[in-house]
Structure 1
Amino acid sequence: MEKQLTIKGIKSQLAAISQENDPLLILYKDDRRVGVQKLLKQTYKKIQQHQLLVAKFQQRLALEKVAWSHGLNFVAGIDEVGRGCLAGPVITAAVILPHNFSVIEVNDSKQLSRHTRERLYPQIIEQALAVSIGVSSPSVIDQINILQATRQAMKKAVLGLSISPDKLLVDAVDVPVDIPKQRMFKGDAKSATIAAASIVAKVYRDHLMAIYDHLYPGYDFADNMGYGTAKHLQGLQAFGTTPIHRLTFAPVNQFIKN
């Protein structure tokens, strides 16, 4: 009589399954062991969750597929992070994805945990055809205002791409470049390419603010990323402004020491 595979062994087999019609699922369907039936139920649930993730990801590629179908093969998504901060630069990213891009978890960076963003960041960099970062410093923001500084940083990101894009997908802001563009609100939730750019920009800026936290301790930059949290405001009260503060922003301008 053939020896039954242990539940641990079956669990190992089922771990790699991604299709509901996999022969192994059929094979173990009649196994009466409670542990096996529990594993089958968990596996079916995991497959269904994966299929839902794939379906939503394909929806977020709809704009790109329309462009690709019209021969616009290099579609760049652009997004920014840090517009509402009291300290630090505004960071923009431009990303061109291949037609076979497969990092299905890519979504609006605000909907992802910090751990997930950190995990997806190198996968995006590895698979992307081109990635570019644009930066506007706090002093530039103070000189020309945050909207114009964001537009300038987006222009830098687009012009810095190693591949010239055929079309831009942009989250709301009008990028001052002579390239066909499609603007939309909440684009990072509608376009996988904009979502990829939002993750790249967010992780890049988070790392930068962690460095600033070492240079300028007392403001909690590594945690608040320059936003106006209680600890940040306490730091301003105790130590005044730093070279990375936006001096035209309230309430920063209240803490400028002459």
Structure 2
Amino acid sequence: MHRNELLQTLDQILQPGGFRDYGPNGLQVEGRAQIRRLVTGVTASRALIEAAIAAGADALLVHHGLFWRGQDGRVTGWMKERLRLLLQHDLNVYAYHLPLDAHPELGNNVQLGLQLGLRVEERTGEQNLLCLGEPAGDVFPSAALFAQHVERVLGHRALLVEPSESHRSVRRVAWCTGGGQGYFEAAIAAGADVYLTGEISEPQVHYARECGVAYIACGHHATERYGVQALGRAVADLHGLEHQYIEIDNPA
């Protein structure tokens, strides 16, 4: 298929025009015109670019692209090296950030919920980036047991901050993948027993201890691996492309 046809398909699925984002969504680097093999990954790092080239990719589809608002626009250092590889090998790069987080079927939030066995009952918050739901199976007796479950599924350490006094079972979960610290107060207001995201900042520790809602941070990368895989599979099936997801380890 032609690179512009793939762009049209991705834009039609994700509707990036409806989001206020931190960088450009869509085709970020133009490569060869015809695309037969699509590689997906979380971040357009040099390691992923090199792996995609070794895999014979015509296009690379990522969640975290190359360009961000407020970024130094000079093509030096790491940016020069990434672009040199991409241009030298005529490799297309497509990137979708918030539109991929929020998609109701293929998005990072919904796909993370599927991995963890969480039923999505409501998507709320700014740009529908906060999910609310409950475990599809038995209720977890404690946040600690739920955190252990998260660690097993994601293969990543879960940092748990528990309330100082209230220790309740986990019936209602709120979550937002990646750097979703700012949604914790909305999760508290929505009646969550526990909030799950990728990262934690200093203020959230105190909110958790004082407001009776546990907080679990289990990795920005670890929580955002699943949407791009689902999107890549869907697009590849639709257009008969070869598709491969490449995991680049990231402990953050």
TM-score between both structures, scaled by the size of structure 2: 0.30
Larger Rg: 1
Question: Relative to total residues, which structure has the larger strand share, 1 or 2?
Answer: 2
Question: Relative to total residues, which structure has the larger helix share, 1 or 2?
Answer: 1
TM-score between both structures, scaled by the size of structure 1: 0.29
